[in-house]
Structure 1
Amino acid sequence: MLEISEVTTPGELRAFVKFPFQLYRDNRYWVPPLIRDEIMTLDKNPAFEHCLKKYWLARRDGQIVGRIAGIINHAENKKFGGSTARFGWIDFIDDRQVSARLFQTVETWAREHATQHIHGPLGFSDFDKEGLLVEGFEEMGTFATIYNHAYYPEHFEACGYRKSADWLEYEIFSPGKIPPRFAEFSRKVQERYGLRQLEVKRASELRPYAREIFQLVNDAYSHLYGFVELTDKQIEFYTEQYFGYVNPDFVSTILNQQNEVVAFGLTMPSLSLALRKAQGRLLPFGFWHLYRALQKNNRADFYIIALRKEFRSKGVHIMILEKILTTCLKYGIPTAETNPELETNLQVQLIWKGFERRQHKRRRCYSKELTGLE
């Protein structure tokens, strides 16, 4: 018998977080999350100030066979003037009854809160994993993205969900040296606008700029699909959660003459293989695997790039790319992977023009109208 039950205890929440470890146990492309971080996100998230949430587990004969989260982000509805729910953290075995019951459960909950539309997979904010993988199932996952089995899209569509937005991901190949045009153009941009790279040796030296950096991201990404600006408490939360992993060599922070942050780019050595070895735990050896990955790697992940509006067409991104490429050459990293980019965001895709690249993954946000559904 299939049963759907709400997650109400710490033990059930831990089981919710650990279900994918069972589901993807034999999959060599899935990258485990850090269990501690997942529990923190789902249990102690400052987004709860403006979000409703509920989590459910599907069990058959006592065995967990699926999970789903329901989210209503009041800030999203206020910003876009709608009545929308989100779903996320969705995983299930290849059984149409299981996926259908999970979707029915979250849709019923959403209708009880008078929402007329639901979309996902999405998290509480853009800093959570989002977008169902629909192409690239035989590509290694990353720390910041969802990996799912190839049967998921068919289940979504069978339950009435349709494409709402797509993100593309690219594998970028290093040219092996700094192109002369990069150095020259970067120098001219710095001189013309009075800009400079912030030079730091330790991650702790970046923390005084953290609030400005996140506020810059809020401004730069505000027009993109589903993006909701981070609150002050969320900024504090993500600063604590992520800045400890940062290798400052891979960070480009551009300041103006008033020492204000006008552009920011973050890349990191890939943590994918290290996280597979750690299997979700920092102890006893997880810290060591992550440390090794940050020091020596043959692959990097581009996480984010953001510029003030007045600098978006001024070539300032070349300063960021020059810094990142210099660092990759220093560390002997020949290949990098971009974070998901909306397929309609041509401005960010033009950043990679001139690099050898391949579009190797696609992920999708699905949506469904709930009005009149029973």
Structure 2
Amino acid sequence: MIEVIPVSSKKELTDFIDFPHDLYKNDPYYVPELFIAQRDLLTKHPFHKHNSLQTFIAYKDGKIAGRIAAILNNAHNEFNKRNDGFFGFFDCIDDDDVAAELFNTVKNWLKEKGVTQKIIGPVNFSTNEPCGLLVEGFDSSPVLMDTYNAPYYINLVEKQGYQKQIDLISWNWEGQNYDDKSVRLLTTLQERLKRNNILIRNVNLKDFKNETIKLREVYNKAWDQNTGFVPMNDEEFDYLAKDLKLILDPDFCLIAEQEGKIVGFGLALPDYNQIFKTIKRGRLLPTGIFKLLLNKKKISRIRIYALGVIEGYRKMGIEACLYGTIIKRYKERGFKCAEAGWTLENNILINNAIIAIKGDPYKKYRLYEKDI
């Protein structure tokens, strides 16, 4: 017997967050999300002020067998002139019947909300947050803020009639196995940009509030042509920035600026998943916090999380300068590997640039869609 219920209590929310820990308890590549971060995301994130979300738990024979969230993202529909719904936070045992009940529940909920076009996912809550179903690259753990799932999820989703919308690619470098042309040309590139009064600098953490205001404008302009993009409002970007500030390294948060105007930025983050992997069930207390504090210096990987330049300033060498500076500091700091991602499979310009510096497309995530 399969039963799907809406999450409505603190205990059910805890069960919803904890289910993947039990599902993947024997998976060597699984990394638990921090409980407090997931709880706040599902209950306190500014997204909830202007959009709707309902989480569901599936039980089979009295035991938790799956979870999913139905998401109505009004900002997406307004910006893209659509009437779509989304699914996210999908985890399930290898059981087609359980998956069918979960997806049908999402479809019915979205129909009640007036959605008439497509259901898209997985996204948690949009492409601004972790998204995509892992379809290639199951032989390593996810890097910070990447999704993870077992290979059988592909069949679970596709048997429900979902088809590929677009693939997202993550790129990898091991050790010094990269083309350092952008590093060798860094001085030349910087001089060229300087003639146009453009400089590359570190983020100013002492003036982080004002930096965040300018960075939000760049973020919403630099990615606005990407498939499925949703602009972030002030509160949402501040929420993200506040979280990132806790873990960012100023040496890897770079700003391209022309006479006080920010025209691009590059952000690489230490891979805290290397620590989170050791924190049982994502609980920082009582001992997880010590693992976090004591092992920060042992992190050996970075993730190039975002790198973008606004229209009118592209192809001037800013992108190469940002990449070159990150690579140079990666080498100086002794990191052993790096990930860049994700990028859209149809972003030929940026993908070719990554291939040119020997990026290895080692993981692929997929966004699916289905007519409602």
TM (normalized to structure 2)? 0.93
Q: Tell me the alpha carbon deviations over residues 315-356 of structure 1, each in whole angstroms, 9 at most, x when there is no partner.
A: 101221122112211221132111211100112213324322
Whole-angstrom distance in 2 between the partners of 1:312 and 1:286: 43
2:245 aligned residue: 243
Does residue 184 in structure 1 map to residue 159 in structure 2? no
Identity %, equivalent residues: 29
2:5 aligned residue: 5
Question: Do the aligned partners of residues 330 and 205 (structure 1) sit closer, same or farther apart at CA in structure 2, a change above 3 Å counting?
Answer: farther
Q: Which AA in structure 2 matches 1:185?
A: T
Q: Is the 8 A contact 1:169 1:337 kept in 2?
A: yes
Does residue 69 in structure 1 map to residue 72 in structure 2? no
1:140 aligned residue: 141
Q: Tell me the alpha carbon deviations over residues 149-174 of structure 1, each in whole angstroms, 9 at most, x when there is no partner.
A: 10001111111111111111111243
Question: Do the aligned partners of residues 115 and 193 (structure 1) sit closer, same or farther apart at CA in structure 2, a change above 3 Å counting?
Answer: same
Q: Which AA in structure 2 matches 1:261?
A: I
Does residue 331 in structure 1 map to residue 333 in structure 2? yes
1:51 aligned residue: 51
Task: For residue 293 of structure 1, report the CA deviation from its aligned partner.
Answer: 5.0
Whole-angstrom distance in 2 between the partners of 1:140 and 1:189: 40
Aligned partner of residue 314 in structure 1, secondary structure: coil
The number of residue pairs the alignment matches comes to: 368
Task: For residue 99 of structure 1, report the CA deviation from its aligned partner.
Answer: 0.4
Task: For residue 292 of structure 1, report the CA deviation from its aligned partner.
Answer: 4.8
Whole-angstrom distance in 1 between the partners of 2:306 and 2:2: 41
Whole-angstrom distance in 2 between the partners of 1:293 and 1:348: 33
Q: Which has the higher mean CA deviation after the structures are superposed, 262-271 or 66-75?
A: 262-271
1:26 aligned residue: 26
Q: Is the 8 A contact 1:247 1:294 kept in 2?
A: no
Question: Do the aligned partners of residues 22 and 318 (structure 1) sit closer, same or farther apart at CA in structure 2, a change above 3 Å counting?
Answer: same
Q: Which AA in structure 2 matches 1:275?
A: F
For structure 1, the 5+ residue unaligned runs are none
Task: For residue 47 of structure 1, report the CA deviation from its aligned partner.
Answer: 1.2
Whole-angstrom distance in 1 between the partners of 2:294 and 2:188: 34
Aligned partner of residue 311 in structure 1, secondary structure: coil
Task: For residue 226 of structure 1, report the CA deviation from its aligned partner.
Answer: 1.3
Q: Which AA in structure 2 matches 1:17?
A: I
Whole-angstrom distance in 2 between the partners of 1:199 and 1:118: 40
Choose the corresponding residue for 1:361, options 354, 360, 363: 363
Written as runs of structure 1 = structure 2, the 5 A alignment for 1:177-216 is 179=181, 181-199=184-202, 203-216=205-218
Does residue 104 in structure 1 map to residue 107 in structure 2? no
Task: For residue 241 of structure 1, report the CA deviation from its aligned partner.
Answer: 2.0
Whole-angstrom distance in 1 between the partners of 2:105 and 2:184: 56
Task: For residue 113 of structure 1, report the CA deviation from its aligned partner.
Answer: 1.9
Q: Which AA in structure 2 matches 1:208?
A: N
Q: Tell me the alpha carbon deviations over residues 172-213 of structure 1, each in whole angstroms, 9 at most, x when there is no partner.
A: 24358954643233223332221223246x744544301211
Q: How much is the aligned-residue C-alpha RMSD, in angstroms?
A: 1.9
Q: Which AA in structure 1 matches 2:170?
A: E
Task: For residue 25 of structure 1, report the CA deviation from its aligned partner.
Answer: 1.0
Q: Which has the higher mean CA deviation after the structures are superposed, 345-354 or 31-40?
A: 345-354
Q: Tell me the alpha carbon deviations over residues 73-127 of structure 1, each in whole angstroms, 9 at most, x when there is no partner.
A: 1111112222110000000000111101000100111112221210100122333
Question: Do the aligned partners of residues 46 and 153 (structure 1) sit closer, same or farther apart at CA in structure 2, a change above 3 Å counting?
Answer: same
Q: Is the 8 A contact 2:178 2:357 kept in 1?
A: no
Q: Is the 8 A contact 1:297 1:332 kept in 2?
A: no
For structure 2, the 5+ residue unaligned runs are none
Written as runs of structure 1 = structure 2, the 5 A alignment for 1:244-283 is 244-257=246-259, 259-279=260-280, 280-283=282-285
